[in-house]
Amino acid sequence: MVLYTLTHSAQDVTAIEAELKEEMLCLTAGRLGSLLSRRAVAALSTTNARMASHGHVSQQTDMSVPLYCDRLDTPLPDRPYNNALTATEQSLKQKEKGPWNNLSNEEKIALYRIMFKDTYAEMKKPTHEWKTVFGGILFFIGVTGLVVLWQRIYVYPRIPHTFDKEWEAKQVKRMLDMKMNPVQGFSSKWDYEKGQWK
């Protein structure tokens, strides 16, 4: 407000301050109003209306009822596999209450399939997932090999000339000429009279 006092009179300064306060209150009230209206719409909208728009995404499961699962360590699931029975399955369930000698093998299998989804043999049957895992491993090994090859070509510096075969031969000849370590070292393995290794 010091800036205003230098260029304007006292009445102008108070008028400008009042306008600024009014604008700030309008902005704050507008923001607060939009926030409250969004909250009110979210709170007042029913869960059914919200779920209707998202019901097609996934099937909702009631987690308060027991779930069915086939596991080798749990031989009896909490509920049967098939809850909604057809008329033939209901008559078969009534027939199940009688002596099992009267049931055919097909009827026994049908009763088993009402209660369970898979047999133990079907649960223990190996999957072909190992092929996918093995293929993924080989893929990543191949990509790693390509990265290493790229690094050897474009990233790493060239091999020094001292690693060349010619340079190594000259270095060995020089060491022999200088008779390096003649007692137990390098030159002790060279026969100077014959000109060959001992």
Tell if the pTM clears 0.75, that is, is over it.
Answer: no
| Cα of 146 vs its chain's centroid, Å | 24
The tens digit of pLDDT for each residue in 147-195 reads 999 999 999 998 899 999 999 999 999 999 998 888 888 888 888 888 8
pLDDT above 60: residue 101: yes
Q: Which of 12-16, 50-54, 193-197 has the highest mean pLDDT?
A: 193-197
CB distance 188 to 182 below 8 Å? yes
Q: Please determine, for residue 19, whether its predicted confidence score (pLDDT) is greater than 60.
A: yes
User: Taking each helix axis from N to C terminus, what angle separates 87-96 and 105-115, rounded to the nearest 10 degrees?
Assistant: 110
